[in-house]
Amino acid sequence: MSAFPCSFADPQLPGNGTSPLYVLMSKSIVENSRSFARGAGLDGIEAGVAVPSPLSVSAFIGAISRRPALFAFVVGLLLTSPALFIGFAQDDWYFLSIFKANDAQGFNSKLLNTYTFADGQASGNQALLKSGVLPWWAVEGWRVDMWRPLTSLSLWIDYQLFGEQAFPFHVHSWLLYGALAALAAVWFRRTIGAGRAAVIAALLFAIDGGHGVAAGWIANRHALYTALFGIGALLAHDRSCRTGVEFSKSVAWRALALALFLVSLFFGEAAIGALAYLAAYAFFIDESAASRKPIGRVARAAISLAPYLAATAVWRAIYIAAGHGTWGSWLYIDPLAEPLYFIKEALGRYPALLVGLFAAPDSIVWAALPGVWQALFSAIGAAFAIWMLLVLRPLLSQSREARFLLTGSLLAALPMCATIPQDRNLMFASLGALGVVGLFLDRWARARRESPVRARVLAGVWLGAHAIIAPLFLVGMSVAIAVMDRGFQNSNNSVAQFANRDTELVVAVNTPLDLLGASFPLARAAQGAPGDFAWAWLSAARMPVIVQRTSAHELLLQQEDGFLRRPWSH
């Protein structure tokens, strides 16, 4: 077999400028392209025509198919590497202030509660009001108190080892993301098989733009840990259910899966997403239930899920008994404590999440829109989801793996309606979504000339959103929190410059964002900023606020949409 003509000529080489290495590369590419052509039904096309350059899709997929986990690890690290140098941002200042305040006390329970922003107790909230973290219009009993003890412990260990050097904190999260991308590739190979679909899914997961914030924001590390141990639980559960496994080994694998799931829960409540895939697995994949009728499969799913549901109930009981939870905020909703409010908000949030999950833009756009436009965004999201399901119907009818992945993804996205739509919260949901995308694109590529127009449109949408836009967003979103924080820091510096040594109180009439007002005292405390003055903010809106003094101790504030609104109330 001779090498086909290509642009590997090097003017620095003697003779015709073609090195043996280039000839070998050319032969490898021709061989890979012929294998791909046979798989795609293009046997009659000559190699020199089928593969015009070494950058062809077939050669690329062939190159990474042998070690997809390693490739996903490397690509994930490369695209998120800019986040290594962005320093601390936003909530990072909060946990730093906790660690610094406890330096003299040694290890104590407070260090495991770095995600307790407000415990809802009158004394605690009053202190936050006095310090200027909470605004004056926050509802009584406002509580945002997430229990993520293992994530808090990982942050405290980093602090003990590296102090206030942000770089090692970022290296920790950076390597976590690489490991997560690699483990996801293993899971796709186990779930979908060793073909191109699994490789495509692994690559798309590694470059997904929605993962950027978790990879780059230290305080968002919990999303990486919950997904890492959650996927480990799914792999162990799958191993325990495969036929031919000895009973004792099956029990051991199931025990390992349960242990990994519990660890995932103690890293963060997002681990609930793993339950979605465990339920879908029991219904569609579990070989012992595959031949059963639907009612039998439901019963089997309930039995299979029972240990995980029991573990979740124990975790929830400890969570509540320790005083953790949320209340009174549009930002975070406890579905069990406020079920009707959760359902009401989910009607608008869930379609927005599906837009971010399967297409673009990031679902956080929904939160920035006014009410009418939010409703329109949600309506478009619902319409897109229905259309997508219609296009996917042939694939879903023929592939139980596709049914498993899509069901798991849609179920995993539901709990994320408990907070404002953001793609950074869709780590678990993106597993199944990108697995379906991989299956669909692989099948479409094999018969794209015969595929209907709607399939071509969906393929175009997914290639554009997940293969072209996503990696650019991954890079951008990995540093986005720092860009936002720099804006906050500039505002904070201007306030500090305004104040002098005799200033006792600084009052912001109107901050453009709630987070700007709340983060100012936290950042100052963590950074040890000079100046001993109190801080208060009268409003947070992108609209005019009318301020009138009605007496020596009273102000009258007027704002178009009022004050008792999100995120400080319902």
Q: CA-based Rg of the chain, rounded to a whole angstrom? A: 27
Instruction: Kindly state the tokens that stand for 5.
Output: 């003509």
Q: Which three-class secondary structure state does DSSP give residue 535?
A: strand
What's the whole-number average pLDDT of the chain?
Answer: 84
Nearest to 295 by CA among 305, 279, 283: 283
Apex CA 402: angle with CA 280 and CA 454, to 5°?
135
Do the beta carbons of residue 121 and residue 109 sit within 8 Å? Answer: no
Q: Tell me phi and psi for residue 413, to 5 degrees.
A: -75, -25
Q: How far apart are CA 143 and CA 163, in angstroms?
A: 29
What is the per-residue pLDDT for 17? 36
N-to-C CA span, the chain: 71
Cα–Cα distance between 147 and 265 in angstroms, integer?
9
> Coil, strand or helix: which one is 558?
strand
> Is the pLDDT reported for residue 524 higher than 80?
no
> Tens digits of per-residue pLDDT, 236-292?
999 998 766 788 888 999 999 999 999 999 999 999 999 999 999 998 988 655 545
Highest mean pLDDT (candidates 244-253, 471-480, 518-527): 471-480
pLDDT, tens digit, for every residue of 406-446? 999 999 999 999 999 999 999 999 999 999 999 999 999 98
Lowest mean pLDDT among 138-152, 206-220, 281-295, 462-476: 281-295
How far apart (Å, rounded) are the C-alpha atoms in residues 363 and 360?
8
- pLDDT recorded at residue 566: 61
Take residue 119 and report the two structure tokens written for it: 């415990």
pLDDT confidence of 528, banded at 50, 70, 90?
Answer: low
- Determine the pLDDT at residue 242: 79
Closest CA to 408 of 383, 391, 389, 433: 433
DSSP state of 511: B
Distance, in Å, from the CA atom of 522 to the CA atom of 90, rounded to the nearest integer, reads 9
- Mean pLDDT throughout 344-348? 95
Greater confidence, 488 or 211? 211
Please indicate whether residue 62 or residue 452 has the higher confidence score (pLDDT). 452
Would you say residue 344 has pLDDT above 90? yes
* DSSP per-residue codes, 285-348: T-TTTTTS-HHHHHHHHHHHHHHHHHHHHHHHHHHHHTT-EEES-SSB--TTTSHHHHHHHHHH
Whose structure tokens read 């098989």? 193
pLDDT at 105: 67
Instruction: Judge whether 311 and 378 are in contact, CB under 8 Å.
Output: no
- 145 strand-pairing partners: 116, 325
Nearest by Cα to 206 from 476, 433, 470? 470
Q: Compute the distance between CA of residue 53 and CA of residue 231 in angstroms, rounded to an integer.
A: 37
Total residues belonging to the chain: 570
Structure tokens at 133: 């973290």
- The answer to whether the CB of 368 falls within 8 A of the CB of 405 is no
Q: Tell me the average pLDDT across 378-385.
A: 97
Q: What is the model's pLDDT at position 303?
A: 86
Q: What is the C-alpha to C-alpha distance for residues 172 and 161, in angstroms, rounded to an integer?
A: 12
pLDDT of 511 reads: 79
Q: What percent of the chain has pLDDT over 90?
A: 54
User: What is the reported pLDDT for 56?
Assistant: 58
- Distance separating alpha carbons of residues 25 and 31, to the nearest angstrom: 10
